[in-house]
Amino acid sequence: MIKNISVAVVAVACVGLAQAQNYPSRPIKLIVPWPAGGGVDTSARILSQPLAERLGQPIVIENKPGAGGNIGTAVAAQEKPDGYSLLMASISPNSVNIHLYAKLDFDPVKDFAPIAYGYTVPSFLVVPASSQFNTAQELVAFAKANPGKLNFGSSGIGSSQHLATIMVQMATGIDVVHVPFKGTAPAETALLASQVDFMLDPPTCFPHIQAGKLKVLAVGSPKRNPAMPDVPTFDELGIPGVYTAVYYGFMAPANTPKEIITRLNKEVNEVLQTEEVRTRITKMGGVITIAPPEDFGNFANSELVRYGEIVKRAGVKID
């Protein structure tokens, strides 16, 4: 019996090794659970083309948006774990939505095998160019003296911008009013028109900052961002713990052979270190991390734990 079990284990190992050696032998599907043109879709397109060149097979992007990334992520969880169906993972469906939604059709931890980081993107505290506030401390002091008078925009209830502002509230104790919009673009339009007082915005705000239409007061990361090196962190300003990084990375359905995961991790990390990709991501405010699969998985899981408290503080639940 023991001999038969040993033979079976060796046979399975050999199959996995053979799959990895021949992988990939046909096109790879990359599921993006968001619409075309958004941050997750952009990251998928930046990374998939050079990755496809390294792998010698096309990578076909399939956008499956809906329910805050949940629909496409649920589809990816049910795909065959053979390395030919991958997920462009991101913070909402893979770390936050488990706390926001009453029910998910996937388990963000058990149903996926992490492959590799892509990059992270922090939020920037921005105000209209005409705003009376020139520093984050001025904004916080005014908010403390005038509870409920300031409002902030976001791309929706439970969005990264909403929860980033909750972090600021937790760190400072300020009372501000949330004004949700249906997407980042309309929220930024309202900010530019001074219909809202401030936002914790992703780097989509860079063109408005560079055009002098918005002022940037702080960045939500432990270190200053290379794309905006003159902008202080919240920590530097005495507002600790406001870390708002949105991540983009590759995952596969659980039980995808380890040899394939290892191969993909190596190739993604090589892509991230090319000058063209590194320069493009850095200009967009992205911060690249080169690491093994387990580091990406540990980071995604640590964010899942951290956002549990933030969502609880926000008092948000989506049926």
Q: Does a structural domain hold residue 36?
A: yes
Report H helices in the chain. 2-22, 39-55, 70-77, 91, 97-100, 136-145, 160-172, 184-192, 206-210, 258-272, 275-283, 293-314
| Claim to verify: residue 185 and residue 268 sit in the same structural domain | no
Hey, what are 128's tokens? 């209209």
pLDDT band at 164 (very low <50, low <70, confident <90, very high): very high
pLDDT digits (tens, 9 = 90+) for 46-89: 999 999 999 999 999 999 998 889 999 999 999 999 999 999 99
Coil/strand/helix, residue 64: coil
- Retrieve residue 287's tokens: 């911060």
Last residue of one domain, picked from the residues 170, 200, 219: 219
Structural domain contains residue 241: no
Q: Are residues 131 and 104 in the same domain?
A: no
Question: Angle between the 39-55 and 258-272 helix axes, to the nearest 10 degrees?
Answer: 110
Greatest extent of the chain over all pairs of C-alpha atoms, in Å: 79
Residue 64 forms part of a structural domain: yes
Cis peptide bond prior to 24, omega within 30° of 0: yes
Same domain, 180 and 260: no
Q: pLDDT by residue (tens digit) across 268-292? A: 999 999 999 999 999 999 999 999 9
In one letter, which amino acid is 252? A
CA pair distance 313, 249, nearest whole angstrom: 27
| pLDDT band, very low/low/confident/very high, at 313 (cuts 50, 70, 90) | confident
d(C-alpha 34, C-alpha 298), whole Å: 23
- pLDDT tens for 85-122 read 999 999 999 999 999 999 999 999 999 999 999 999 99
| Domain final position from 219, 235, 260 | 219
Alpha-carbon distance values, 190 to 174, 180, 184, 208 (Å) = 22, 11, 10, 13
Task: Please check whether residue 238 lies inside any domain of the structure.
Answer: no
Same domain, 168 and 307: no
Q: Residue 257: which residues within 8 A CB-CB, separation 6 or more?
A: 16, 19, 20, 81, 82, 83
Clarify whether residues 201 and 299 are in a common domain. no
Name the 3-class secondary structure at 128.
strand
Structurally, how many domains does the chain consist of?
2
Alpha carbon distance 240, 124 (integer Å): 15
Domain membership of residue 14 (yes or no) is yes
Does residue 249 carry a pLDDT above 80?
A: yes
What is residue 8's predicted lDDT score, i.e. its pLDDT? 47
- Last-in-domain residue among 174, 202, 219: 219
Per DSSP, the residues of 135-180 read: SHHHHHHHHHHSTTT-EEEESSTT-HHHHHHHHHHHHH----EEEE
Domain range for 268 is: 2-119+247-314
186 lies in a domain?
yes
Q: Does the structure show a pLDDT above 90 at 37? A: no
Strand partners of residue 96: none
DSSP 8-state assignment for residue 241: T
